[in-house]
Amino acid sequence: MSKIKKLTSKYKNMSPVAKTSIALIIARFFQKGLAMITGPIFTRIMPSSEYGIIATFTTWQSILLIIATLNMSSGVFNNGMLEFKKDRNRFTFSILLLANSITLIWGIVYVVFYQWLSPIINLPIPLMIIMGLYFLTFPAYSYWMGRARFEFRYKPVLVLTIVVSLASTLGALALVLLADEGEKSTAKIVGTESVMILVGIIFYIITFIKAKGKVKFEYWKYALAINLPLVPHYLSMHVLSGSDKIMIANMVSTSATAIYNVSYTVAAILLIFWDAVDSAFAPWIYQKMEKKDYAPLQKRAQSMMVVFALFALLITLFAPEIIRILGPEEYYEGIYIIPSVVSGVFFTAVFTLYMRVELYLKKSTTIMIGTVAAASMNLLLNWIFIPIFGYWAAGYTTMVCYMMLALFHAINLKRLGYGMVYNNKIIALMAIALCAVIIACMLTYQFTVIRYILIAILFVIALIKRKEIISLVKGNKKEKAT
């Protein structure tokens, strides 16, 4: 009982950023974990042809969401929360209507050019209607979540994520079991998306009421100026993360793509962790930048990268066991891709740190140039090296592109006069050292005893240094939300 009280006391003493990060990590892992657990259930109660329709739907949904809504919750929203802190309700409602207007315009384009667009997207009209309703309502939900994160109200974010994930999963499962053959894919999509649409409608009404239905069109101009250049950036990030699989399928085989895709699942675990930390850290960056309080930013960034580096190293050492869980024996050779993929994720975290400051400075065009260049480089390097070295090359080409992207943003931030925000030398040394150690971990994959000894040493070091690690994570309780 005393231990529980001690842990509770430590949690209460954590900074709002740390508490929000922990809550988001729990929420994201619950959300993704639920999807991983139920995935095998859906593949067994649905024919593969129908499950393929769901994969097509989710792929197009993730791409078209950026075009149809401008993905403002990931970009200009944080700027608005800081710049218009006394008018957050009207700002939120204004950009919600802007997102809806853009969705409706693209909806008209789809209807007018249906004859040409339908064969490309290759989805039936009912599913496109569901997708359209999702695009109209989802921004209200994402803006509410974004504001809650910005104000470090982590409890409702955690509860809502868990409730929505459970409701959509159980709803989809029930509808699929009740559906006839040939209609299971539609049932799965309806079950999942209807929950999100309903939740979106609820937050749409809340947003409307809080803003008293008032729109300020100056916010439209503000949002478009910042977020329009980010659309190519978001699309290029899709190319960076997804082009490997397409090119491996075309240049090697679909079996190689399957092995690469399973190995990339390990990166997905790391990305869930980083995405949660970044979601909590981003609002805090904006608030510290506004106050020109750079010292805590530098210290917290280094702390985050140390913890993330340890997590990445641990995941790499456990790669053989993770692959055995995720797939049968023929997938085992994928363990040798994991070090390059994990290193690439670490560089993703590094460039995100710099990019958040650039977003605060409204340098959207520069961000777009960097990401488009990195995506183009990735396509070129894959085209050159996959035929020579096989599908393994894709992990390393992507890692190099993320490394160059991190370097680009670091140089750009220094050029803008904000090179002091982070300690670039320490971050660079940490990244290089981690990548060298991670890639060296491949040598231990054939020697299980040695690998387990290294894991044990890592745990012992973490245990000895637990107070320092906890202090890194806790931060300062005096850090308040704006």
Tokens 């100026």 locate to: 225
pLDDT digits (tens, 9 = 90+) for 371-389: 999 999 999 999 999 999 8
User: Which range, 15-29, 299-313, 406-420, 468-482, is most confident?
Assistant: 406-420
Mean of pLDDT values over 379-405: 91
Distance CA 56, CA 62 (A): 10
Residues 6+ apart with CB under 8 A from 104: 136
- According to the model, what pLDDT value does residue 266 have? 73
For residue 390, name the pLDDT band (cuts at 50, 70, 90). confident
Residue 112: pLDDT over 80? yes
Average pLDDT score, the chain? 85
The model's pLDDT over 341-370, given as tens digits with 9 standing for 90+, comes to 889 989 999 999 999 999 889 898 999 999
For 203, what's the count of Cα atoms within 13 Å in the CB-facing half-sphere? Answer: 24
Residue 96's contacts (CB-CB under 8 Å, 6 or more residues apart) are 139, 140, 143, 204, 207
DSSP 169-210: HHHHHHHHHHSPTT-HHHHHHHHHHHHHHHHHHHHHHHHHHH
For the chain, percent of residues with pLDDT exceeding 90: 34
d(CA 70, CA 368): 14
Region for residue 46 given its phi and psi (left: phi exceeds 0; alpha: psi -120 to 50; beta: otherwise): beta
Instruction: Grade residue 99 by pLDDT with cuts at 50, 70 and 90.
Output: very high
Residue 481 has pLDDT above 50, yes or no: no
The 10s digit of each residue's pLDDT in 200-231 is 999 999 999 999 999 999 999 999 999 998 99
At residue 466, does pLDDT exceed 70?
no
Domain boundaries, the chain: 19-228, 229-476
Distance, CA of 124 to CA of 146 (rounded, Å): 32
> Which token pair is 461?
């070091």
| CA 269/CA 350 separation, integer angstroms | 17
Question: Cβ contacts of residue 126 below 8 Å, gap of 6+?
Answer: 186
Residue 476: which pLDDT band, with cuts at 50, 70 and 90?
Answer: very low
Position 42 confidence tier, pLDDT thresholds 50, 70, 90: confident
pLDDT digits (tens, 9 = 90+) for 59-69: 788 889 999 99
DSSP state of 292: T
Q: What is the mean pLDDT of residues 251-270?
A: 76
Span between the terminal Cα atoms of the chain, in Å: 35
Q: What are phi and psi of 403, to 5 degrees?
A: -65, -45
Closest CA to 259 of 331, 196, 338, 194: 331
What's the pLDDT tens digit per position in 310-337? 888 888 888 888 887 766 777 788 888 8
Which of 27-36, 84-93, 429-438 shows the lowest per-residue confidence on average (mean pLDDT)? Answer: 27-36
Do residues 482 and 17 touch, judged by C-beta distance below 8 A? no
Query: Quick check: 125 pLDDT over 50?
Result: yes
Instruction: Report the pLDDT value the prediction gives residue 403, as an integer from 0 to 100.
Output: 93
pLDDT number for residue 110: 94
